[in-house]
Amino acid sequence: MTTPGPVTGARDLALAHYAARGVLERVLARHGMTFQQQVALRAAITAETPQTPDALAAQVEHSLKADPAGIHATLDELLTRRLLAEEGAHLRPTDAGRELMATVAEETAPITARVWGGIPAADLAATGRVLALVTERANAALGELG
């Protein structure tokens, strides 16, 4: 018989998020990059086609629930650093942007393996379902708040 673990809630989710984000932010800081810049650059890199600044900003806003003006300022920072480039009305990641993201991924991979390693697949699957539901509900509540 398995003993149930402690009941978890919003505080536990927040603590896990900030612990993992803290690791990433330390790695990003070594490269002069912020968390929001990383999210925006990753969104540009993973997009199937180059995005307009407004479309890319909307995607980042949806992910981070951040101020649109701040996101546009972040895109400008990435353009200034030549991690993004303008291609007509669109933004595309540069080779330097792709290389930086690959370097960050390489540096965080061993830490990620330690953090996630050894967690049973069934626990990860249950966690994924719960997090998807929490995200859906929180996004709906945010939409209701206006």
Candidates 48, 42, 6, 46; CA nearest to 24 is 42
Name the residue among 139, 107, 110 with its Cα closest to residue 31.
107
pLDDT at position 40 is 98
pTM above 0.85, yes or no: yes
> What local confidence, expressed as pLDDT, does residue 134 receive?
93
Residue with tokens 């995607």: 59
Domain boundaries, the chain: 23-105
Tell me, what's the pLDDT at 108?
A: 96
Distance of alpha carbon 100 from alpha carbon 13, whole angstroms: 29
Integer angstrom CA distances of residue 113 from 71, 84, 108, 127? 30, 29, 9, 17
| Mean pLDDT along residues 32-51 | 96
Angle at alpha carbon of residue 73, lines to 67 and 77, rounded to 5°? 140
Mean pLDDT across the stretch 124-137?
94
Average pLDDT over residues 13-21: 94
Q: What is the mean pLDDT of the chain?
A: 94
Q: What pLDDT does residue 6 have?
A: 76
Q: What are phi and psi for residue 87, nearest 5 degrees?
A: -135, 85
- In whole angstroms, what is the distance from residue 111 CA to residue 106 CA? 10
pLDDT category, 2, cuts 50, 70, 90? low
CA dihedral over 109, 23, 60, 97, signed as positive or negative: negative
- The CATH architecture annotation of domain 23-105 reads Orthogonal Bundle (1.10)
Residues 6 or more apart whose Cβ sits within 8 Å of residue 84: 40, 41, 44, 75, 78, 91, 92, 93, 94, 97
At residue 86, the pLDDT reads 97
pLDDT band at residue 62 using 50, 70 and 90 as cut-offs: very high
